[in-house]
Amino acid sequence: MIRHTVVMRLKHARGSREEAEFLETALVLAKIPGVQNFERLRQISPKCDYDFGFSMEFADQAAYTAYNEHPDHVAFVKEQWIPNVAAFQEIDYAPLT
């Protein structure tokens, strides 16, 4: 299992229409084959400079690779992520065995 997480700060004002639209368009990622347990999250810690996060799981590396190469993911990155995200940190986890 791989848990893919990313935290981000958007270029838009908090509570703005642009912020809401970006978060809504991210739901396309949940429909990509292989994506499990997709969540859009609001970051609440005062110790962190990011505002939102996405979390999802994949059964294995093949499923994660297929997600990264899927046309809907590639389009989301190009059309939504790059124009709307000011800063981010991506972390991928695998369980300790």
User: What CATH number corresponds to the domain at position 35?
Assistant: 3.30.70.100
pLDDT averaged over the chain? Answer: 96
CA atoms within 13 A on the CB side of 77: 9
For residue 56, what pLDDT is reported?
98
CB atoms within 10 A of CB 59: 11
77 is a domain residue? yes
Number of domains making up the chain? 1
Tokens of 41: 């999250």
Q: What global pTM score does this model have?
A: 0.90
For residue 21, what pLDDT is reported?
96
Q: Which domain holds residue 58?
A: 8-85
